[in-house]
Structure 1
Amino acid sequence: MTVLSARALNRATLARQYLLERTGAPVREAVAHLCGLQAQEPQEPFTGLWSRLHAFTPDRLDRALTGRHVVRTHLMRRTVHLVTGDDALAWRSRHDAMLRQRVLATYRRELAGIDPGEVAAAGRAVMADHRPRTMTELVREVQDRRPGPPRRALGELLVAALVPMAQLPPRGLWQTKAGVRNLPLATWLGREPDPLPDGADDPVGQQLVRRYLAAYGPAASADIRAWSGLAGLPAAVEALRDELVVFRDERGRKLLDLPDAPRPSPETPAPVRFLPAFDNAILGYHDRGRVIDEAHLGLSVAGLRAVLVDGRVAATWTTHERRLRVTPLRPLFSREREAVGEEAGNLAAFLDQDIDEVEFTAPAATVG
């Protein structure tokens, strides 16, 4: 069985995430290929797409959101993702049980004894007038019908688990600050989410596995589970065995992949790329070692934005007082620092937030 080095896995990830070479794909097509972008921080997907798409401009994503081609909704791992409308409708029912379980586990004490079916019915009745509501407004009207648990817990259960919701624009539009207004996906997109099929077959799970491998593979079953939050995909993986190829990584883990998916040479040059907070190129794996060193794993869940140098997380970045600040996590060679500075300048021009300086901060050290 072929063993793939960490560097080979890194280059495969970069290629499939459009981080090795930017793509000319339309926004909707790119979001679909990436299986969505994590988007609980509303402005972060703009940087994620800028780093992946040729000549990306913010109005392209704005039009996709207002045109209902892409939508903000709770999905994988119970986090807000930016996904295509088609994927939101196709995948939501497959995630329902996980979403419900995670909310009930988080608010175990507050939600003890409630009947999720009754709460869901009350929520749908409130939203039947097709009027967008904040979570607070929805909970208030539901509790007018039936007193319930604390508002925060009830609100999370309703909007993140029981009633498939879209977060409507202007939330998520370029440089726009707007609160969350919810509307059922079925109302916003014009049809109900696809129901789960009866029987043992799991075509939705199989599609998720294929789509995940196309954007993240080669990967282990544990990686698929970490990305999706779903524990029930082994049967889907098993059903696809005959159409997948198998590798091992340097630790002996079995990795699955699509036969014709790109696996570039480990020696393929990788350009500097700036990633937004919570980017799935890092978070989309159980074993994130192909992209980030173990010593820095905490950065990936702390909301820090990462800079890839030679395909790996080598710095963090932020904007502050008209400066784009880059903080290296290791000494940078002169050529690396120059490349980071050049791409930082490009990003500053894209962000257009009166940024007039790129600044390297400690512990930046240049060698060579």
Structure 2
Amino acid sequence: MERDQVLAFRVARHGLATRRPLTLAEAAACPASDYARGRALLALAARADGVTREAYDRATDAGELVLGPSLRAAIHAQAPRDFALFGQALLASDDAELADQIGPAFKRHLRDAGGTAGEVLTEVAEATQAALADGRALDRTQLHAELRERVRPELLPWCKGCASHHVSPMLWRFAGVRAGMRCDAGRRFLLARRRGTTPGPAEAARRYLRFYGPATPKDLGAWAGIARSHARRLWTEIEDELIEVHVEDRRAWLLAADEADLASPPQAEGVRLLPPRDPYVQAPDRATLVPDPVLRKRLFRPIADPGAILQDGRLAGLWRTRAKGKRLQIEVEEFERLDRDALQAEADRIAAVREARTAEVHLG
């Protein structure tokens, strides 16, 4: 199987083959990273017609779209019914795996904190829930102040940057996942409403394959930020639902229910400007998306990473923005010649979402 066929399948599954009239929750079926504020908004606008910042903020405040820590304890926009699935359900139950999941800084601190990884996480999560009880909404500074009053001093290391003691960054983020913490449009933290029964964590593996298949257990672990042993257990739970395929020289697996869609994916049309770290480019098998290692390094940068440009479903360039008052400058690097009218129309759409008056496209 050629990589182009796999990418066409993924483009369609990510809602990028055609832009449709979707609700924001439908557009966020695959969680959209908001590691830099506004990125998730642009990701949803690439998938759904008529997205505006006003509607996005209104949906976020109402809980119709949930913005909060989930995958890898990073802030994502997602459908309310899936918030716990991509967050709480993926927290490891094994203490060693949980410590690995939270990260090396936490593991170093855990030796002095006393208690297991699970006990420490539960302590901070319960303190977070208490701080946000009764509908309280707190910004990060206020939340840290509340936690200083509620957790043991051993869990409050000194932070040079803040010049204060507070719960370490990854611990409080993962505690937010356990607590069910979300954000409002002003980036204050509050508790999300519970919405029915959360499916078992194996459902997250199915969802991953629906968006990123064909894939491997290692890919699942990298995307979800969980230990390989944890990913392997989730994979084992759904093995009977999978078929093996070969993507060029790579063995991978797909949900059997998706075999027909992979065999005949729809043709994507038009130009899309995807924000940095858009869900589509978050597949761990980066070489499938960008075979050229030089281009791959230019797309996946540790800092100041650009957005990706799709043309008819193909990766066709990179883009960056610079705001000058109410003018939005979009600098474009082409990998192939882009349709100028379609590019300008997409740039105008980005400008409208960002509430700029005009979009100026500069080809580099």
Displacement of 1:5 after TM fit?
A: 0.6
Match of 2:146 in 1: 141
The 2-side partners of 1:95 and 1:149 are apart by 27
* Runs of 5+ consecutive residues of structure 2 not aligned to the other structure: 159-163
Match of 1:85 in 2: 80
Displacement of 1:273 after TM fit?
A: 0.9
The two structures have a TM-score, normalised by structure 2, of 0.79
From 188, 192, 195, the equivalent of 1:181 is: 188
The answer on whether the counterparts of 2:273 and 2:310 sit within 8 Å (CA) in structure 1 is yes
Note the 1:182-221 alignment, pairs <5 A. 182-184=189-191, 188-190=192-194, 194=198, 204-221=200-217
Match of 1:199 in 2: none
- Name the aligned partner's letter for residue 206 of structure 2: R
The answer on whether the counterparts of 1:96 and 1:162 sit within 8 Å (CA) in structure 2 is no
The answer on whether the counterparts of 2:241 and 2:256 sit within 8 Å (CA) in structure 1 is yes
User: Number of matched residues?
Assistant: 334
- Name the aligned partner's letter for residue 218 of structure 1: P
The 1-side partners of 2:194 and 2:266 are apart by 47
The two structures have a TM-score, normalised by structure 1, of 0.79
The 1-side partners of 2:132 and 2:287 are apart by 44
Note the 1:315-354 alignment, pairs <5 A. 315-321=318-324, 322-330=327-335, 332-333=336-337, 336-354=339-357
Note the 1:66-81 alignment, pairs <5 A. 66-81=61-76
* Runs of 5+ consecutive residues of structure 1 not aligned to the other structure: 172-179, 195-202, 363-368
Q: How many percent identity over aligned positions?
A: 25
Deviation string for 1:234-292 (max 9, x for gaps)? Answer: 23323323322321111222232342462265793542210012111011x22123333
The 1-side partners of 2:138 and 2:111 are apart by 26
The 2-side partners of 1:154 and 1:86 are apart by 29
Match of 2:300 in 1: 300
C-alpha change, 1:230 and 1:313, in structure 2 (3 Å) is farther
Match of 2:34 in 1: 39
The answer on whether the counterparts of 1:135 and 1:159 sit within 8 Å (CA) in structure 2 is no
| 1:154 partner SS | coil
- Name the aligned partner's letter for residue 17 of structure 1: H
The answer on whether the counterparts of 2:3 and 2:288 sit within 8 Å (CA) in structure 1 is yes
| 1:259 partner SS | helix
- Name the aligned partner's letter for residue 18 of structure 1: G
From 114, 122, 137, the equivalent of 1:132 is: 137
The 2-side partners of 1:11 and 1:279 are apart by 16
| 2:358 partner SS | coil
C-alpha change, 1:55 and 1:242, in structure 2 (3 Å) is same
Match of 1:276 in 2: 275
C-alpha change, 1:296 and 1:110, in structure 2 (3 Å) is farther
Match of 2:317 in 1: 314
Displacement of 1:153 after TM fit?
A: 5.9
Match of 1:8 in 2: 5
The 2-side partners of 1:237 and 1:131 are apart by 39
Deviation string for 1:290-333 (max 9, x for gaps)? Answer: 33343233433433222123411522231332243232153x43
| 2:249 partner SS | coil
The 1-side partners of 2:308 and 2:40 are apart by 14
Displacement of 1:72 after TM fit?
A: 1.6
Displacement of 1:50 after TM fit?
A: 1.5
Displacement of 1:154 after TM fit?
A: 0.9
| 2:22 partner SS | coil
Displacement of 1:192 after TM fit?
A: 9.5
The answer on whether the counterparts of 1:324 and 1:357 sit within 8 Å (CA) in structure 2 is yes
Displacement of 1:190 after TM fit?
A: 4.5
From 248, 257, 264, the equivalent of 1:259 is: 257
The answer to whether 1:22 aligns with 2:29 is no
The answer on whether the counterparts of 1:272 and 1:309 sit within 8 Å (CA) in structure 2 is yes
